[in-house]
A and B are shown apart, each in its own frame.
Chain A
Amino acid sequence: MTTYYNEEFETLPRAALEALQLKRLKSAVERVYNNVPFYRSSYDSAGIRPDTITSLEDLQRLPFTTKQNMRDSYPYGLFAVQMEEIVRIHASSGTTGKPTVVGYTRKDISNWADLMARSLVTASVHKGDIIHNAYGYGLFTGGLGAHYGAEQLGASVIPISGGNTKRQIMIMEDFSSTVLTCTPSYSLFMAEEAKAEGVDFRNLKLRVGIFGAEPWSEAMRSEIEAKLNLTALDIYGLSEIMGPGVAQECFEGKCGLHIWEDHFIPEIINPETGERVAEGEKGELVITTITKQGIPLIRYRTRDITSITCEPCVCGRTHARIARMSGRSDDMMIIRGVNVFPSQIESILVRIEGVEPHYLLIVDRKENLDTLEVQVEVDERIFSDEIKVLQGLSRRIEKEIKEMLGVTCTVKLVEPKTIQRSEGKAKRVIDKRAL
């Protein structure tokens, strides 16, 4: 017997759900056309008038919105309301120096809390649960997103954020946490720390974990469930669309994540051609927000690769399910839950040296934590005869990357020409993690 957060919406028959989507889509397209110069000029140049959207199929006629569009309108260019109505601002990694900025109205925050609460219930969380929220609090949407959802549900949330793992283990034990929310790799790191502290997860009260913010495999799920003695479920979100709670894997089915179609219209496209692919086929996830007010986005290309199915789910929810993410259609990496673009590292290197060195990023996972090694070729422009100067350079690069991106890396200076050259697009990243 499934427990729902709002049963009516979660089990809405497809026909009614799609009718609701169309109604909200029309209103969303009007909203952006009338309030966002970017969309107005984009639709005008394409000869599209909002009142010509009369079916869900018509969505395909609308142009995509990309990360580049968001970057070009930094910081508030895509907002559809006056700043006085924006009550929260979040940001996430941009492809270069500037982050991607999103704004929320009071209603947006309320919807987000509701959708996150719905996601928690979908994961079997209920009032009375004690939620150990180790997602990062701050500009990142993870911490506050999960937090507001937990409070909305009425569960008891411990806003512990990330870091200080030994203390976290102590609190999980002493405060009798029943639910864990954090990145999957951090959960394994916690497991190792607990073991070192002599704490057995079988003696803790944890029942379920909701893990996201980075891709993870079925193999990793088995490992997490074995080591942490809980049911591990996937959650999906991205700040451009909302934050965590865009889609949630159900406790009953544990087979794909329900994307909340009363607020988001998902499409799967071929990233090269932009055409929709058949149901069940892999492609890039595109999302249209149909209820957001602050920064509504039409056909936003997420760059995440997945597939979708409308097959009925054992839990009874009628919202389509997306498969666990299997990669990116761009070169973005997620390192310890942080989005990192190679081009960001590149601009830091250029800024420090004044020249662009050949570099290579090696991402690996050691003892359950992601590691980033930045190899930099030492050519005549960078070389110094003094060890301290070269080491100073390494330290400075590490410090800048830490400060600008929030990611800890080690710099390795290498001889020239050791980093492979290629015709066309340079291969900047070697990801050794088998996710």
Chain B
Amino acid sequence: MMVEQISIFIENKSGRLAEVSKILGDAGVNIRALSLADTSDFGILRLIVNDREKAMAALKGKGFTVSKTVVVAVEVPDQPGGLASILQVLDSETINVEYMYAFVERCGSNAVIIFRFDETEKAIAVLAAKGFNMLEGERLYGI
């Protein structure tokens, strides 16, 4: 249920994002999903990739600060109300969402929402109990 996401620290200078994508491209790493959080000074690029070790090695080799973060990928029908159904459950159990981002699956009619929780294990238990489907990392990396 726990998915490994890669987080990269990027200064707010021009070309840094392009540099990161080039490094990953040259290393043969495929990005499955991404989200960029920014402040006026820096940004954190969060990626779900097909090969975490290769991605980290390539980025560290070029001097980037990278870390791995545990996130949860929840599958919902790609319909209005999909996201709301999850969030209502989390809210009723007072589970805090640090951040989230989403994408649609190519095959099937589902959307996947990536969540970073304060209390990952509690969140997983709650969502499972309510019948939500959470994707395994392996499934996600190769999606």
Contact = CB atoms under 8 A, between A and B. Distances in A.
A103 to B, nearest CB: 45
A414 B12 CA distance: 9
B133 interface: no
A385 B42 contact: no
Identify whether the interface residues of A are mostly helix, strand, loop, or mixed: loop
Interface string A375-402: 0001110011111001100000000000
B37 A387 contact: yes
A383 B67 contact: yes
Interface string B1-32: 00001010111000010000000000000000
B85 interface: no
A415 B12 CA distance: 10
Interface residues of B, number: 21
A378 B65 contact: yes
Interface of B: 5, 7, 9-11, 16, 37, 39, 41-42, 44, 46, 63-67, 69, 98-99, 116
Contacts, number: 48
10 closest A-B pairs by beta carbon, nearest first, are: A385-B7, A385-B69, A417-B63, A378-B9, A383-B65, A415-B11, A378-B65, A413-B42, A387-B37, A383-B67
Contacts of A379: 65
A247 to B, nearest CB: 43
Given A385-B44, A385-B46, A387-B44, A416 B37 contact: no
Contacts of B46: 385
Given A385-B46, A387-B44, A391-B39, A414 B67 contact: no
A379 B41 CA distance: 16
11 contacts: A379-B65, A383-B65, A383-B67, A384-B67, A385-B7, A385-B44, A387-B44, A414-B42, A415-B11, A415-B65, A416-B65
B58 to A, nearest CB: 15
A29 to B, nearest CB: 55
B114 to A, nearest CB: 12
Highest count of chain B CB atoms <10 Å: which of A387, A416, A418: A387
Nearest to B67: A383
Given A385-B7, A385-B44, A385-B116, A416 B39 contact: no
